[in-house]
Amino acid sequence: MAITFVQQRKYQKYLILIFIVLIAVIAFVFFGDYLKKGEEVFISNPTAAKHLPPVRIDFQVLDNPIFQKLTEPFPDLPPAHSLGEVGRENPFLPYEGQVGPSEGGASE
């Protein structure tokens, strides 16, 4: 039986080695791009910018009545304390009459 234990230890050593190599490869893939410095892009030919289409902003959207309705203020609401008691003293306690898992239920 001693041979079996030695074989298991060799097998475990190989698994640990494969696991370490796998973690190293994953770390290299994920952090390789993160640590890489970005390349700076310069326009060497200023006439190349002339080929870009001009930027147009359509301000007529702001005149739309649906958009204008969004800018109306909210109605004044009464303060929360004037509505009465808010919340419970201990929100983590179950409600009265509620059956919990330890008190019996559908799991039996």
Domain assignment present for 61: no
The helices-and-strands tally (H runs, E runs) of the chain is 2, 0
pLDDT at 24: 92
When divided into structural domains, the chain yields a total of 1
SS3 101: helix
83 part of a folded domain: no
User: For residue 107, is it within any domain?
Assistant: no
Question: Would you give the distance in Å from CA 108 to the centre of its chain?
Answer: 38
DSSP string, 94-105: PPTT---GGG--
Residue 99's contacts (CB-CB under 8 Å, 6 or more residues apart) are 105
Could you give the CA distance from residue 87 to residue 107 in angstroms, rounded to a whole number? 31
Model confidence over 20-72: pLDDT tens digits? Answer: 999 999 888 887 777 766 666 666 666 666 677 778 898 888 888 888 888 77
Residue 25 belongs to what domain range?
Answer: 7-32
| pLDDT for the residue 99 | 61
Residue 12 lies in a domain: yes
The model's pLDDT over 58-88, given as tens digits with 9 standing for 90+, comes to 888 888 888 888 877 777 777 766 667 777 8
